[in-house]
Amino acid sequence: MEDRAGARPSPSSPRRSPDAPFPVCVLRWPCGRGPWAGWWASRGLARMTGAPQPVRVLRAHTRDAQIRLSALDASPLWDGVRRSHPHLDPGACACLTELLCATALLQSRSLFSERLQMLIKGAGKARAVVADSWPDGTIRGVLDSGVPEAAEWVLAPGVLKVMRSNPTGQPYVGNLPLVEGGIQAQTEHYLQNSEQVQASVTLWCDLGTGEAGGLLVEPLPDCPPARLARLIQALDGLEVVPFWERTPEFLAAWIAQGQGSDEVAVTEVFYRCRCSRATLLDTLSGFSEEQKADLFVEPGLVEVRCDYCGQRYPIALEDLRKGDA
C-alpha cells in the first residue's frame, strides 16, 4: 500500500472508509492546533462561525461557438480552508485553495456528474496536497507540509494523480510526473496529456484578502487562428483586472471579447467535510488487533481528528468492539 499524506500512526491501515480520498489518511492524533494557531487567532480568523457560503461555478461557451469556459469565485473556499486548517500558514492555505479551484474546474467539464480527486506529491513546501470534490457539491481538502526551505509550494520531482469516479463504471486514475510550475501548470499538463485537451488554466489567491478564483478556457478544435489570437490576448490582459472584479460573469464576458456568451450550467459548491462518527468507526474497525492495541495503550478515550475539517471524535475501545459484533 502506498504511503499516505499526513497518516498517523505509521502502520498502514488495511481498510479505508469509502469517503476517504484515495491516497490520504483522514485520521490523525494527537490533536494539536499547530504553531500557526496563534497567528490566526491574533487576527480573529480562527474557527469562524456561521454557515459556509457557496462557490458559484459557471460553465459557458462563447456565442461564436469557438470557446468553452468554466469560471468560479473561490473566496468561500479560502474561508473554508481557514476554518478547517487553522494550523496552516497563509501560503499553505493559498496552495490548498488553488488546488480546490483546479479540482472544481475539472469537475465542471462533466457538469459535476462524478467525484473527482486531485493529489499532488512533490518536493516543495507542500509534501502532499489533496482535493476531493463530490457530485452533490461538497468539496474538501488537506495539505501536508514538506520542506520549509523550498522555493515553492509545488516542486518536482513528484507526481500528480487525478481520479474520476462515477456510480456506473470503474474509476479512472491519471498519473503524471510533476512539471515546472505551480498548480495551474500541473492542471494544464494533465489536460493536455491525459485528456488530450488544449486548455488554459488561470488560478489566483491573494494571501492578504483571501480573494481567490479560477478560469478554465478550452478553444474548440475548429477555432480559427484569428480568434485564438484574440483569446491569447484576453488571457494575457487578465493580469490588469483586480481579483475582486473577476466574477464568473465578468470572466465569461472577458473571454467572449464582445461576442457574448451562453450559460450552460451554474453549480453551487460548498467547502464541507463528509466525515461522521459512523464512518470513523467503520474505518477503525478494519484495523488489525495489533493496531487497535497501539491506539489504546492506556485506558480511556482516544481522540481522533479528521484531517479535512478538524472535527474531533472521542473513541473508546468498546466502540470498536460494538462495531465488530
Lowest mean per-residue pLDDT among 76-80, 174-178, 284-288: 284-288
Whether 316 and 301 have beta carbons less than 8 Å apart is answered as yes
pLDDT for 138 equals 95
Distance in angstroms (rounded) separating the CA atoms of residues 86 and 82: 5
pLDDT tens figures, 207-249 = 999 999 999 999 999 999 999 999 999 999 999 999 999 999 9
Lowest mean per-residue pLDDT among 75-79, 190-194, 243-247, 301-305: 301-305
Domain count along the chain? 2
Last residue of a domain, one of 253, 271, 289: 271
Do residues 131 and 106 both lie within one domain? yes
CATH at residue 205: 3.55.30.10
Instruction: Write the Ramachandran bin of 44: left for phi over 0, alpha for psi from -120 to 50, otherwise beta.
Output: left
For residue 86, say if its preceding peptide bond is cis, omega within 30 degrees of 0: no
Between residues 46 and 179, which one has the greater pLDDT? 179
Q: Is the pLDDT of residue 309 over 50?
A: yes
Q: Is the pLDDT of residue 109 over 60?
A: yes
pLDDT tens figures, 37-92 = 343 333 333 334 456 789 999 999 999 999 999 999 999 999 999 989 999 999 99
pLDDT for 299 equals 78
- Compute the average pLDDT of residues 121-145: 96
Do residues 104 and 242 both lie within one domain? yes
Cell of 213: 478564483
Phi, psi of 84 (to 5 degrees): -85, -20
What residues contact residue 321 under an 8 Å CB cut-off, 6+ apart?
none
Q: Is residue 193 part of a domain?
A: yes
Q: Is residue 255 part of a domain?
A: yes
Distance in angstroms (rounded) separating the CA atoms of residues 249 and 246: 8
Q: Work out the pLDDT band at 174, boundaries 50, 70, 90.
A: very high
* Helix%, strand%, coil% for the chain, nearest 5: 30, 25, 40
Do residues 89 and 228 both lie within one domain? yes
What residues contact residue 103 under an 8 Å CB cut-off, 6+ apart?
116, 117, 118, 131, 132, 133, 139, 141
Q: Is the pLDDT of residue 128 over 70?
A: yes
Do residues 196 and 314 both lie within one domain? no
Q: Is residue 48 part of a domain?
A: no
Do residues 15 and 69 both lie within one domain? no
Segments forming the whole domain that contains residue 296: 1-31+275-325
Q: Is residue 243 part of a domain?
A: yes
Lowest mean per-residue pLDDT among 23-37, 79-93, 175-189, 231-245: 23-37
In 3D space, the residue among 93, 103, 97 whose CA is nearest the CA of residue 70 turns out to be 103
Record the pTM.
0.81
Do residues 200 and 280 both lie within one domain? no
Q: Is residue 242 part of a domain?
A: yes
Do residues 237 and 322 both lie within one domain? no
- Average pLDDT across the chain, whole number: 84
Do residues 258 and 283 both lie within one domain? no
Q: Is residue 43 part of a domain?
A: no
- Beta strands, E only, the chain: 27-28, 55-62, 67-73, 115-121, 126-133, 138-145, 159-165, 172-177, 200-205, 212-219, 261-271, 302-306, 312-315
Do residues 95 and 147 both lie within one domain? yes
Do residues 256 and 303 both lie within one domain? no
Last residue of a domain, one of 255, 271, 287: 271
pLDDT for 324 equals 53
Last residue of a domain, one of 252, 271, 290: 271
Do residues 122 and 231 both lie within one domain? yes
Q: Is residue 46 part of a domain?
A: no
Q: Is residue 107 part of a domain?
A: yes
Do residues 296 and 308 both lie within one domain? yes
Distance in angstroms (rounded) separating the CA atoms of residues 34 and 88: 8
Q: Work out the pLDDT band at 253, boundaries 50, 70, 90.
A: very high
